[in-house]
Amino acid sequence: HVDFTIEVYRSLKVLDGGVGVFCGSGGVEPQSETNWRYANDSKVARVIYVNKLDRIGADFYRVVKQIKDVLAAEPLVMTLPIGREDGFVGVVDLLSRKSYIWDDSGDPMKFTVGEPPADMVDDVETWRAELIEKVVDQDDDVMEKYLEGEEPDVDTLKRLIRKGTIKLDFFPTYCGSSFKNKGVQLVLDAVIDYLPNPTEVNPQPEVDLEGNETGNFAIVDPAKPFRALAFKIMDDRFGALTFLRIYSGTLKKGDTVLNTATGKTERIGRIVEMHANNRQELDACQAGDIVAVLGMKNVQTGHTLADQNNPATLEPMVFPDPVISVAIAPKDKAGNEKMGIALGKMVQEDPSFHVSTDEESGETILKGMGELHLDIKIDILKRTHGVEVVVGKPQVAYRETITRLVEDEYTHKKQSGGSGQYAKINYTIEPGEPGSGFTFQSTVTGGNVPREFWPAVEKGFKSMVDKGTMAGFPVVDFSVNLTDGGFHAVDSSSIAFEIAAKAAFRQTMPKCAPQLMEPIMKVDTFSPDANVGDVIGDLNRRRGMIKSQEAGATGVRIKSEVPLSEMFGYIGDLRTMTSGRGQFSMEFS
């Protein structure tokens, strides 16, 4: 689900290969698109598996076309389905030209290998020829022989498929029905045959503390210095489990390693290898392994653990910003402390979940990736930690920006007994590029504002950015240029210039034609044909802009952009309009 994109994101960061699973009847769904895009960003090699081919409306060939059209990926079809929907009994493996047919017992071991059905022989040859043509591109010598009429043998084809899969040139595509245990075996073989092992993946770049690449890499080699990335923290009954992907070196029980983010050392207590809900104790692990460690104190998601004597930092993880917030308060006073401890644990586990305290109202604000995300967090508070809370209406993170350049000046004078305060600044405030945030520069010449006071002016403006003059929301995308000013040899000080800058912000911002900006969401709505008019009308009512409509096999996919403030409670309305058949996903645009 889109609210839990973070789980996909951090898993992709540490994986060498993956299996993209698509529904045989639903095809490429909106969330699959998002996850596929993340996998492309992370350059993870994949095998595609089209599942649920025994369902009504399942069509393997349609899904393959959708993968080409919607994901712009190159599927390399490796198996063809035998039979459709209820009649789906097995698959034909194109490389060996053999059919695998399972009985109805559901036992994955009960299958017979034979020749393809007579009515599929032509299809098998057509798809096999297409497969070979795509694969021989990987090797010029094989290509030449193929053009001369010599077909490569199966071992050569497998070698080239592996090469192309690792280069992301194509994705071996399989089909089956996991529920009935049909076709899964070939996918598992493909994972071993075609997905890369840890040494075949581009090594992770090492970065300095500012995040710039140093030019070194964490080579997958047990003999190299130790480097590992903590990618997930999970609280269970034995304490906090920290999941590590080890990129180089070895790790033993009792070792002391350096956390480069905090500068502190951590002692490794127990190392376990996780198998779903079972765990196996290990004494040591090495480059390429994914393990969990118990007893880490200050490690958070995205931190690097490294050899004390030879430290380096790995590229950190990037987490999406939260898009929705709710205010919560414990039902009784006693719950306050419990709630604080519980939220602290939950924030460590999930980096896309933020907790803050509103300074004006004193409310505890939870921020997350969507309504479902926050609903589940509140449920965890209640069930796991026993804290009952009252939930307030979500608030939307608005922003303010300016649309006009203004030149202005401000003089701050204050005279009381003893030395006073004096600062005069001339400045321009102008709109910046979208996404530039707040920038400050000084073009003062001749010492009218001494250089030591420039940081104070910047600090003054910066401290006001979080609270705009229009509606009290943070101000983004503007720049301040200090052009001139004046000072007094005795009365001027850093604090005087800082106060002048704060007052100047309040004086000038209203003149810059401020505007309120609201978060706009990319909304992807699926509606049955009969309800499309209602759904589009409803999106328009919510101030939405319809971007495109695509007719699918079972309905229409409507892509639009809608302000987040209008989207609260949308799923309830959508289900009402479509008799419960509509679906939607949204992400920040």
Reported as a single tens digit per residue, the pLDDT across 291-302 is 888 878 788 888
Residue type, 491: D
| Confidence at 544, pLDDT banded by 50, 70, 90 | very high
CB-based contact 89:111 (threshold 8 Å): no
Q: Which tokens hold the place of 358?
A: 């509103």
Reported as a single tens digit per residue, the pLDDT across 486-513 is 988 888 889 999 999 999 999 999 999 9
Q: Which tokens hold the place of 374?
A: 């926050």
Reported as a single tens digit per residue, the pLDDT across 172-199 is 999 888 888 888 888 898 898 888 888 8
CB-based contact 576:549 (threshold 8 Å): no
Q: Look at residues 5, 92, 15 and name the one whose alpha carbon lies nearest to residue 46.
A: 15
**What is the Cα 299 distance to its own chain's centre?**
20
Which region, left, alpha or beta, applies to residue 577 given φ > 0 means left and ψ of -120 to 50 means alpha? alpha
Which region, left, alpha or beta, applies to residue 35 given φ > 0 means left and ψ of -120 to 50 means alpha? alpha
| Level-2 CATH architecture, domain 520-588 | 2-Layer Sandwich (3.30)
41-54 burial, b if ≥16 CB within 10 A, otherwise e?
eeebbbbbbbbbbb
What's the pLDDT score for residue 407?
A: 92
Beta strand residue intervals within 340-415, DSSP E = 354-357, 364-368, 389-391, 399-402, 406-414
**How far is it, in rounded angstroms, from Cα 147 to Cα 136?**
10
CB-based contact 497:465 (threshold 8 Å): no
Query: Which CATH class name applies to 324-391?
Result: alpha beta
Does residue 387 register a pLDDT over 90? no
Task: DSSP letter for 226, please.
Answer: P
208 vs 399: which has the higher pLDDT: 399
Same fold, 204-314 and 400-516: no
What's the pLDDT score for residue 554?
A: 65
Task: DSSP letter for 26, please.
Answer: T
**How far is it, in rounded angstroms, from Cα 559 to Cα 168?**
28
CB-based contact 490:498 (threshold 8 Å): no
CB count within 10 Å of CB 137 equals: 14
What's the pLDDT score for residue 280?
A: 85
Which region, left, alpha or beta, applies to residue 477 given φ > 0 means left and ψ of -120 to 50 means alpha? left
| Confidence at 460, pLDDT banded by 50, 70, 90 | very high
| Confidence at 362, pLDDT banded by 50, 70, 90 | low
SS (H, E, C) 457-499: HHHHHHHHCCCCCCCCCCECCEEEEEEEEECCCCCCCHHHHHH
**How far is it, in rounded angstroms, from Cα 192 to Cα 184?**
13
What's the pLDDT score for residue 501?
A: 93
Helix, strand or coil, per DSSP, at residue 43: coil
CB count within 10 Å of CB 379 equals: 10
The mean per-residue pLDDT over the stretch 83-105 comes to 85
What's the pLDDT score for residue 367?
A: 82
Q: What percent of the chain has pLDDT over 70?
A: 95
What's the pLDDT score for residue 211?
A: 65
| Confidence at 309, pLDDT banded by 50, 70, 90 | confident
What's the pLDDT score for residue 48?
A: 92
What's the pLDDT score for residue 185?
A: 87
Does residue 360 register a pLDDT over 60? no
**How far is it, in rounded angstroms, from Cα 72 to Cα 319?**
25
212 vs 62: which has the higher pLDDT: 62
Average pLDDT, the chain: 84
The mean per-residue pLDDT over the stretch 35-44 comes to 82
| Level-2 CATH architecture, domain 204-314 | Beta Barrel (2.40)
Does residue 1 register a pLDDT over 70? no
| Confidence at 538, pLDDT banded by 50, 70, 90 | very high
Min mean pLDDT across 111-115, 197-201, 585-589 is at 585-589
Q: What percent of the chain has pLDDT over 90?
A: 16
283 vs 545: which has the higher pLDDT: 545
**How far is it, in rounded angstroms, from Cα 423 to Cα 414?**
9
Helix, strand or coil, per DSSP, at residue 1: coil
Min mean pLDDT across 19-28, 436-445, 522-531, 549-558 is at 549-558
Q: In 18-95, which residue ranges form alpha helices assigned H by DSSP?
A: 30-41, 60-71
The mean per-residue pLDDT over the stretch 251-263 comes to 85
CB-based contact 462:418 (threshold 8 Å): no
Name the residue ranges covered by the structural domains of the chain: 17-196, 204-314, 324-391, 400-516, 520-588
Distances (CA, A) of 166 to 160, 191, 416: 10, 12, 74
Q: In degrees, to the nearest 5, what angle opens at C-alpha 6 toward C-alphas 45 and 292?
A: 80
What's the pLDDT score for residue 427?
A: 92
Does residue 202 register a pLDDT over 90? no
Q: Which tokens hold the place of 418?
A: 């003893």
**pTM (2 d.p.):** 0.63
- CATH 3.30.230.10 given to domain 400-516: yes
Task: DSSP letter for 202, please.
Answer: P
The mean per-residue pLDDT over the stretch 359-367 comes to 73
**How far is it, in rounded angstroms, from Cα 538 to Cα 576?**
12
* Phi, psi (deg, nearest 5) at residue 479: -130, 150
Reported as a single tens digit per residue, the pLDDT across 318-334 is 776 666 778 888 888 77
**How far is it, in rounded angstroms, from Cα 452 to Cα 494?**
8
Reported as a single tens digit per residue, the pLDDT across 154-168 is 888 888 888 888 888
Strand partners, 551: 556
| Confidence at 537, pLDDT banded by 50, 70, 90 | very high
Q: In degrees, to the nearest 5, what angle opens at C-alpha 406 toward C-alphas 404 and 408?
A: 160
In DSSP notation, 104-164 reads TT--TT-EEEEPPPGGGHHHHHHHHHHHHHHHHTT-HHHHHHHHTT-PPPHHHHHHHHHHH
CATH superfamily label, 17-196:
P-loop containing nucleotide triphosphate hydrolases (3.40.50.300)
Q: Look at residues 162, 158, 166, 169 and name the one whose alpha carbon lies nearest to residue 134.
A: 169
The mean per-residue pLDDT over the stretch 125-147 comes to 86
